[in-house]
Amino acid sequence: MVIPLAEKQNFLVPNATFFVELLAFVLLFYLLARYVIPPINKAMTARQEAIRKEFADAEEAKSKANQAEEEFRAQIADARHEAARIREDAREQGAQIIAEMREQAQSEAARIVENGHAQVQAERQQAVASLRAEVGTLATTLAGRIVGESLEDDERSARVVDRFLADLDTIETSEAAAK
């Protein structure tokens, strides 16, 4: 069967196949729009929110890490300042202890020297007293031999010896002043 040219169908006029395809397309579009696309959109939206939340958490963690780092640096700086202060206090205390020990040693040395001077002075006094007694005895004995009489009177001999020693002291002090 040959279709004459005049009877050929016009392609602008839809036929039944077109309407079936259109109906299948609309039905498929409705099903996709109703049951498939909303869960996909919901999953994509949830995924986008999760990504946004992860970025926000990452930013927050980064800011907390920066803040913790700044606090750590501040604590280190404070610790260094505290250590420097403690070292300085220790130096000052050491210097103070050294000064106190020097002062104590000097006072102890002065006390020892003073005790030494006092002991030397006491021994000198003792030696002078002993020498006076011996010189007096010797002088009296010698004077008795020279004079030819005994000068055994203790009072008189003590006065003579004292006067003699006083004269000697006077002579020594005048010679020391002349120098």
Residue 7 has pLDDT above 80, yes or no: no
Residues contacting 41, CB < 8 A, separation 6+: none
Residues 6+ apart with CB under 8 A from 164: 139
10 Å Cβ neighbour count for 124? 10
Q: What is the pLDDT of residue 170?
A: 84
Measured CA to CA in angstroms, residue 160 lies from 129, 144, 151, 174 at distances of 15, 12, 10, 21
Residue 34's pLDDT is what?
Answer: 94
**Widest CA span of the chain, in angstroms?**
205
Angstrom CA distances, 156 to 58, 96, 159, 162, stand at: 120, 65, 5, 10
Task: Please tell me what DSSP assigns to residue 11.
Answer: T
**Does residue 9 contact residue 15 with C-beta atoms inside 8 Å?**
yes
% of the chain at pLDDT higher than 90: 57
Tell me the C-alpha distance between 159 and 136, whole Å: 10
- Distance between CA atoms of 65 and 126, rounded to whole angstroms? 89
Provide the Cα torsion 162, 165, 166, 171; round to 10°: 160
H/E run at residue 93:
helix 37-147
Give Cα 40 distance to the centre of its chain: 66
**Predicted model pTM:** 0.40
Pick the more confident residue, 111 or 5. Answer: 111
Confidence class of residue 4 from pLDDT cuts 50, 70 and 90? low
Q: Which residue has the higher pLDDT, 75 or 155?
A: 75
pLDDT at 151: 61
Mind listing the pLDDT tens digit for each residue in 10-67?
A: 777 778 888 999 999 999 999 999 999 999 999 999 999 999 999 999 999 999 999 9
The tens digit of pLDDT for each residue in 74-99 reads 999 999 999 999 999 999 999 999 99
